[in-house]
Amino acid sequence: MTSPGAAPGAAPGPQVRVVLPAHLRNLAGVHGEVLVRLTVPVLTQRAVLDAIESRFPMLGGTIRDRRTGKRRAFIRFYACEQDLSNEPPDAPLPDAVAAAIVAGTEPFLVVGAMAGG
């Protein structure tokens, strides 16, 4: 892990391990997992993405549309072997998933959809 945590001055919230796809790690200039700290107590998809974009502004628009906030079509969100991609952005993550992420035992995965051919 290369990220020490939330930016200075951020309000306290859960700290989350995040795995980014290789292209976004390169863009953000990081290696391996990163840590981001949420600014709200409840773990939602939007809260995690807000924290990622706050810490790495250059990722704005690469995971979700800047204007609509919708997940880009070829991006997926996984955690605890569950596909969270189509969950409402403001819905609390399932209790067991949230507990594992907050405990730091499982990361939140941002994944580029598979492409073959």
Return residues touching other proteins (CB under 8 A).
21, 23-24, 27, 58, 60-63, 65-67, 72-75, 112-113
Task: Tell me whether residue 17 or residue 64 sits nearer to other proteins (CB atom).
Answer: 64
Task: Tell me whether residue 73 or residue 103 sits nearer to other proteins (CB atom).
Answer: 73
> Nearest approach, Cβ of 53 to other proteins (angstroms)?
12
> Nearest approach, Cβ of 35 to other proteins (angstroms)?
21
Task: Tell me whether residue 85 or residue 105 sits nearer to other proteins (CB atom).
Answer: 85
Say which residues have a Cβ less than 8 Å from residue 110's Cβ, sequence separation at least 6. 18, 19, 20, 21, 24, 52, 63, 75, 76, 77
Task: Tell me whether residue 27 or residue 102 sits nearer to other proteins (CB atom).
Answer: 27
> At residue 9, what is the residue type?
G
> Nearest approach, Cβ of 52 to other proteins (angstroms)?
13
Residue 64, burial from CB neighbour count under 10 angstroms (0-12, 13-18, 19+): buried
CB–CB of 63/110 below 8 Å?
A: yes
DSSP conformational letter for 27 = H
